[in-house]
Amino acid sequence: MRAVIQRVSKASVTIDKKVKSAIEHGLLILLGIEDADTNEDIEWLCGKITRLRIFDDENGVMNKSVVDVDGNILVVSQFTLHASTKKGNRPSYIKAAGPEKAIPLYEEFILRMGNQSGLKIATGEFGAMMDVSLVNSGPVTILIDSKNKE
């Protein structure tokens, strides 16, 4: 499971010219699910993200988590995070999980992220063509892959 975490001052998802979700001050999480992912990946990744200290404390040092600052979280599925560009110029998505596996894992990720953080989780729509807008604060962008824990 691969996630791109961006600290944002605001972010939104628009589908068919209608805003589905919008947040301020928090995290935008782009989530890629691969065939090899399990509930163990979800548990580890949710814990890592909720404890990630990338928000400023009173001294301007990144020392607080999204939970500490009572921030917001927006989760957007993005299978292209598992693109392979090793051969040719057209990315291969062979490692990305198909909808039959990815949808239940995506929904479980959202549920566990809410349970672990105690925050309401805003979402995109799995499989939809979405326009994602954001203002990256910092900028702070972090890539975490549950297959690279060490």
Residue 79 appears among annotated catalytic residues: yes
| Contact criterion met (CB below 8 Å) for 124 and 132 | yes
6, 50, 55, 79: the catalytic one is 79
Encoded amino acid at 129, one letter: M
How many angstroms separate the CA atoms of 78 and 92, rounded?
A: 14
Map residue 31 onto helix, strand or coil. Answer: strand
116 belongs to the catalytic site = no
In degrees, rounded to 5, the angle at the alpha carbon of residue 70 between the alpha carbons of residues 123 and 135 is: 55
- Catalytic member of 6, 50, 78, 123: 78
Phi and psi at 140, nearest 5°, equal: -125, 120
Is there a catalytic annotation at residue 6?
Answer: no
What does DSSP say about strands 62-64 and 2-15: parallel, antiparallel, or unpaired? Answer: unpaired
Which residues does the annotation mark as catalytic?
A: 78-80
